[in-house]
Structure 1
Amino acid sequence: MNQEKEKALNSLKTAKGQIEGIIKMIEEERYCVDISNQIIAAQALLKKANILILKQHIHHCVKDAVRQDSGEEKIDEIISILEKLIQK
């Protein structure tokens, strides 16, 4: 596993723990603003993981496809992902 995927995996595991904590906070009827802040933190970790995965994809899969003169599909995939990210 390369470094980007390793970092993404760690971010996702941390986010998983945060989400489990958020669920517990809701069940315990904790203060809404505290819950919201934890949700924002979990979202940031998910965004970080996504960027790391996309970085790995561009540096490896897209780069290799372009070298083999078949990069158009990979570039279109990245554009589609970027469109989804921008629309949020």
Structure 2
Amino acid sequence: MNKQQKQALQALKTARGQVDATIRMLEEGRYCVDVSNQIIASQALLKKANLLILKQHMEHCVAEAFQQGNGSEKIEEIMQILAKITSR
């Protein structure tokens, strides 16, 4: 596992903990704005993890595909992911 994968894994584990805490907050009837802020924090961690994974993918998988002469398929994959990210 490389550095970016380790960072992404840590962000995902932290997000998991935040989601669990957010669920407890909601079950306990905590203030809605506090719950919303926890959700936003979890989303930020998921976004961070996704960007780290995509960076690793581009640096390794996409670069390797271009070296082998078949990078256009990998570019299409990245474009599909970017379309999903930006359509929100």
**TM-score, normalized by the shorter chain, greater than 0.5:** yes
For residue 6 of structure 1, give the secondary structure of its aligned residue in structure 2: helix
CA RMSD of aligned residues (A): 0.4
Q: Which amino acid aligns with 1:45?
A: L
Deviations, residues 8-50 of structure 1 (Å, cap 9, x unaligned): 0000000000000000000000000000000000000000000
TM-score, with structure 2 as normaliser: 0.99
| TM-score normalised by L of structure 1 | 0.99
Aligned to 2:76: 76
List runs of 5+ in structure 2 lacking aligned partners. none
Once superposed, which parts of structure 1, at least 4 consecutive aligned residues long, lie more than 4 Å away? Answer: none
Which residue is equivalent to 1:26?
Answer: 26
Between the two proteins, the alignment pairs up a number of residues equal to: 88
